[in-house]
């Protein structure tokens, strides 16, 4: 019974992984064979240099760097800004705290598609289309991080920081040298989800960028979708490249992701 | 009376001063996030609402036109109800399939003693990769004369060129979205199932409950808050579906796969009708709010919280 269960699920899992297999086997065959009729499961002729050729032919290196710069910057800003505001919400008393917290919560409900038009208006009026700043800033101020970290900060015993406060340490000092080191799992989780979310983001770069020099990987992939005689093997090479960070992170940080997703339901569900 | 007043006043003042320093620190700490939120979230919402009452084509100045965008979409524009229908069709089918597949696989995985985490990772992989890249891979598989066509031909089924078939193209969007995103709910439900106390299940087994009964009577009610959360979030995100449609069909054939998310992009950035596109965005927002409210109302009927 157990053996059947394992075998069955393994088969389902392998079938599920098939598109990845198809993607990779199509990067290592010549383009003429990609659309061969009938399709061949394994390449008849191998073209091991597709990846190197694609890298030289299309500016994948550029796209990769752009994706990294944008996703990395958004992550750094999000973590900094969220840490500060989460600490204020978790530990400091100030007039209007409850109301402000509710306002932050309400902004979580707003769909991204809805913001795209006015954000484009703001960014283009500021002359920031086709710039890194225009790609980064509008994505860096979600209030989700403030909630995630606030929740974690509330669980840290107050005694931990009281001694330092009595000794005259400033709140910033307490935050940096006491709260942040204890909160690294939560901060890591926020960084992970922010980075991957931005690495995978397509709609905003599509709106704000139309030159190849600033295109991120997802945007770059679509730029070569309709070129005369689509080079499918090159596009599959690009797709593979764009998936690598996510796959490495998903496998390497599986426990952190598992806990993070489990926490997300506790966050809104209960 | 006056004595107590004298005694409490200095303490009160000290607390007041402390409160002031804290408020001051809080102001500094909150400023970056508040400014960001104001400029990139709150101001855009206001601008979006204002735009939805205007006629603006990027080149000229926006002109106030009152409710005419909304009147146009409800009365004149035949495309709107098509788009709305597509969106609701996609959302309903996708949410149901996602729920069934995610819950089924999560339960299957939870029944195993070993290798749970590896199965979870396998099904989660597409969720962590760009939906554009995922869609590209599926576009290649569904290309006319491509892999999927060949498989159907071998099986003797005649569904050639699914992506250019107005009745079936949406099904491809559903499949690709499901493959790409089912992993999130799967992990969510799997985590919830892991938290169901084994003692409940053991007790039920002793009382003679079979596996199905244990699933329906114990596990399902106990994880219903998580299921509820999963359904709400999945519905909200699927109302906004865009990436897969952009790559696979561009809303076609005809307008068979044009959903609200895609239509907002198309009206706004292909036809430069920013005002009308903003009105569509507000329709989407209202649907999302209504749906969320409805689900919160419905949850009283089927969600059980153990308190």
Domain ranges for chain B: 3-51, 72-302
User: Cβ of B175: how many Cβ atoms within 10 Å?
Assistant: 17
Mean pLDDT of chain A: 89
Q: What is the pLDDT of residue B1?
A: 42
Asked whether residue A269 carries a pLDDT value surpassing 50, the answer given is no
Which spans in chain A are helix H?
2-27, 31-34, 50-57, 60-91, 97-107, 112-125, 132-136, 144-154, 159-166, 171-174, 180-182, 184-200, 203-208, 217-223, 232-252, 254-268
Q: What is the pLDDT of residue B307?
A: 47
pTM of the model: 0.91
> In this complex, do A122 and B120 lie within 8 Å of one another by their Cβ atoms?
no
B130: Cβ contacts below 8 Å, ≥ 6 apart: A199, A200, A202, A217, A218, A221, A242, A243, A246
pLDDT confidence bin for B294, thresholds 50/70/90: confident
Q: What is the pLDDT of residue B304?
A: 67
Asked whether residue A254 carries a pLDDT value surpassing 70, the answer given is yes
Mean pLDDT of chain B: 87
* Residue B63 β-bridge partners: B55
> In this complex, do B136 and A115 lie within 8 Å of one another by their Cβ atoms?
no
**In this predicted model, what pLDDT tens digit does every residue of A135-194 receive, in sequence order?**
999 999 988 999 999 989 999 999 888 888 888 888 999 999 999 999 999 999 999 999
Asked whether residue B8 carries a pLDDT value surpassing 50, the answer given is no
Asked whether residue A241 carries a pLDDT value surpassing 80, the answer given is yes
Superfamily in which the B72-302 domain is placed by CATH: MetI-like (1.10.3720.10)
How close B2 comes to chain A (CA, Å)? 29
Q: What is the pLDDT of residue B278?
A: 94
**In this predicted model, what pLDDT tens digit does every residue of B210-242 receive, in sequence order?**
888 888 888 898 888 888 889 888 998 999 999
Q: What is the pLDDT of residue B265?
A: 94
**Angle formed by the axes of helices B169-194 and B78-110, nearest 10°:** 40
Q: Hunting for tokens 């992984």 — which residue is that?
A: A17
> In this complex, do B36 and A81 lie within 8 Å of one another by their Cβ atoms?
yes
Cα(A119)–Cα(B277) distance, integer angstroms: 13
User: Chain B 88-147, CB below 8 Å of chain A: which residues?
Assistant: 105, 108-109, 111-113, 115, 117, 119-134, 136-138, 140-141, 143, 145-147
pLDDT confidence bin for A223, thresholds 50/70/90: confident
How close B121 comes to chain A (CA, Å)? 6
ipTM attached to this prediction: 0.91
Asked whether residue B6 carries a pLDDT value surpassing 50, the answer given is no
| pLDDT higher at B187 or A34 | B187
């Amino acid at each position: 019974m157990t053996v059947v269960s394992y075998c069955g699920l393994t088969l389902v899992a392998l079938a599920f992984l098939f598109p990845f297999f198809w993607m990779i086997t199509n990067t290592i065959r010549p383009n003429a064979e990609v659309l061969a009729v009938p399709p061949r499961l394994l390449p008849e002729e191998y073209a091991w240099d597709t990846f190197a050729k694609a890298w030289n032919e299309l500016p994948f290196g550029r796209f990769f760097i752009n994706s990294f710069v944008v996703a990395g910057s958004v992550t750094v800003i999000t973590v900094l800004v969220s840490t500060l505001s989460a600490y204020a919400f978790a530990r400091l008393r100030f007039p209007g705290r409850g109301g402000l917290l509710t306002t932050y919560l309400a902004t979580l409900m707003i769909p991204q598609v809805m913001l795209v038009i006015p954000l484009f208006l703001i960014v283009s009026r500021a002359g920031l289309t086709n710039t890194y700043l225009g790609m980064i800033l509008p994505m860096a101020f979600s209030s989700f991080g403030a909630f995630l970290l606030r929740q974690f900060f509330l669980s840290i015993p107050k005694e931990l920081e009281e001694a330092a406060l009595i000794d005259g340490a400033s709140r910033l000092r307490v935050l940096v040298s006491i709260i942040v080191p204890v909160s690294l799992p939560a901060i890591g989780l926020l960084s992970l989800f922010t980075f991957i979310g931005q690495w995978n983001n397509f709609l905003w770069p599509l709106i704000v960028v139309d030159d190849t020099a600033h295109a991120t990987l997802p945007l770059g992939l679509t730029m070569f979708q309709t070129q005369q005689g689509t080079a499918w093997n090159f596009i599959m090479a690009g797709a593979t490249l764009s998936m690598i960070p996510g796959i490495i992170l998903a496998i390497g940080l599986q426990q952190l992701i598992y806990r993070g997703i489990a926490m997300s339901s506790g966050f809104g569900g209960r | 009376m006056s004595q107590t007043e004298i005694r409490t006043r200095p303490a009160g003042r000290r607390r007041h001063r402390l409160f002031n320093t804290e408020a001051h620190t809080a102001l500094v700490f909150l400023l970056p996030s508040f400014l960001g939120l104001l400029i990139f979230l709150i101001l855009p919402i206001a601008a979006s609402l204002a735009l939805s009452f205007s006629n603006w084509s990027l080149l000229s100045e926006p002109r106030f036109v009152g409710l005419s965008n909304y009147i146009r979409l409800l009365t004149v524009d035949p495309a709107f109800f098509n788009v709305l229908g597509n969106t609701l069709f996609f959302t309903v089918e996708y949410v149901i399939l996602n729920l069934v597949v995610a819950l089924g696989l999560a339960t299957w995985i939870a029944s195993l003693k070993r290798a749970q985490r590896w199965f979870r990772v396998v099904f989660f992989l597409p969720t962590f990769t760009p939906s554009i890249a995922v869609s590209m891979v599926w576009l290649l598989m569904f290309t006319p004369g491509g892999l999927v066509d060949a498989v159907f031909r071998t099986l003797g089924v005649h569904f050639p060129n699914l992506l250019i078939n107005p009745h079936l193209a949406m099904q491809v969007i559903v499949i690709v979205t499901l493959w790409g995103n089912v992993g999130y709910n799967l992990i969510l439900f799997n985590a919830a199932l892991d938290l169901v106390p084994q003692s409940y299940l053991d007790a039920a087994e002793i009382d003679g409950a079979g596996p199905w009964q244990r699933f329906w009577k114990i596990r399902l009610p106990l994880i219903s808050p998580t299921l509820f959360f999963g359904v709400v979030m999945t519905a909200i995100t699927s109302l906004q579906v865009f990436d897969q449609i952009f790559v696979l069909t561009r809303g076609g054939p005809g307008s068979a796969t044009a959903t609200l998310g895609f239509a907002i992009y198309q009206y706004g950035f292909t036809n430069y009708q920013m005002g009308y596109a903003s009105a569509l965005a507000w329709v989407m927002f209202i649907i999302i709010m209504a749906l969320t409210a409805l689900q919160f109302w419905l949850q009283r009927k089927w969600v059980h919280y153990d308190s």
